[in-house]
Amino acid sequence: MSDIPALVAERPELQALWHRHSFVELDARARAHAILDKGTGHEYCDPFDRIESPWLEPQGLVPQADDGLVVVKGQLAGEPCVVIGIEGAFQGGSIGEVSGAKAACALQLAARDARAGQPISAVLVLETGGVRLQEGTLGLNAVAEILSALLELRGLRPVIGVATGPLGSYGGMSIVAGLCTRMVLTHEGRLGFNGAQVIESEAGVAEFDSSDRALIWSVNGGAQRYATGLADALVLDDAPAVRQAVITAVAVGVPERHRSEELDVLAARLGSGDGAQARFSLAGLGLPPAPSPGSARQRGAGS
Amino acid sequence: MQTLNLEYPATGSAARRAHVGVVGSGDLEILFEPGTDATASVRVRTTVDGFDVVWRRVLDAFFAHHPVAGRYELNDFGATPGIVSLRLLQVLETSKPAHKERIGQ
Owning domain of residue B44:
2-94
Q: Chain A interface, mutation test: which of B22, B44, B72, B87, most A Cβ atoms within 10 Å? A: B22
Q: pLDDT tens digits for A253-282?
A: 999 999 999 988 878 777 765 544 444 433
Q: How far is CA B105 from CA A21, A33, A49, A98, in A?
A: 22, 10, 15, 23
Domains observed in chain A = 4-298 (3.90.226.10)
B52 within domain boundaries:
yes
B100 within domain boundaries:
no
Q: How far is CA A82 from CA A44, A247, B80, in A?
A: 10, 13, 36
B72 within domain boundaries:
yes
Q: Looking at the 3D structure of chain B, how many domains does it have?
A: 1
Q: pLDDT tens digits for A16-42?
A: 888 899 999 999 999 999 999 999 999
Verify whether the Cβ–Cβ distance B19 to A87 is below 8 Å.
no
B42 within domain boundaries:
yes
- Where do the DSSP E strands lie in chain B? 2-9, 18-21, 28-34, 39-46, 70-76
Asked whether residue A98 carries a pLDDT value surpassing 80, the answer given is: yes
A36, A70 Cβ separation under 8 angstroms: no
Verify whether the Cβ–Cβ distance B19 to A46 is below 8 Å.
yes
In Å, how far is A246's CA from the nearest CA of chain B? 22
Distance (Å, whole) CA A148 – CA A138: 15
B19 within domain boundaries:
yes
Distance (Å, whole) CA A221 – CA B77: 29
Q: What DSSP string runs through A194-232?
A: S-HHHHHHHH-TTT--TT-HHHHHHHHBHHHHHHTTS-S
Interface of B with A in 13-52 (CB under 8 A): 17, 19, 22-25, 27, 29, 31, 33, 45-47
Distance (Å, whole) CA A238 – CA A191: 19
Verify whether the Cβ–Cβ distance B1 to A57 is below 8 Å.
yes
DSSP category for residue B69: -
CB hemisphere CA count around A204 (13 angstroms)? 2
State pTM to two decimals. Answer: 0.89
B14 within domain boundaries:
yes
Q: Are strands B18-21 and B2-9 parallel, antiparallel or unpaired?
A: unpaired
Question: ipTM of the assembly?
Answer: 0.92
Where chain B has pLDDT below 50, the residues are 104-105
B101 within domain boundaries:
no
Q: pLDDT tens digits for A182-219?
A: 999 999 999 999 999 999 999 999 999 999 999 999 88
Distance (Å, whole) CA A276 – CA A230: 11
Which residues of chain B does A30 touch, with a Cβ-Cβ cutoff of 8 Å?
102
Amino acid at A25: E
- Which CATH number does the domain housing residue B34 bear? 3.30.230
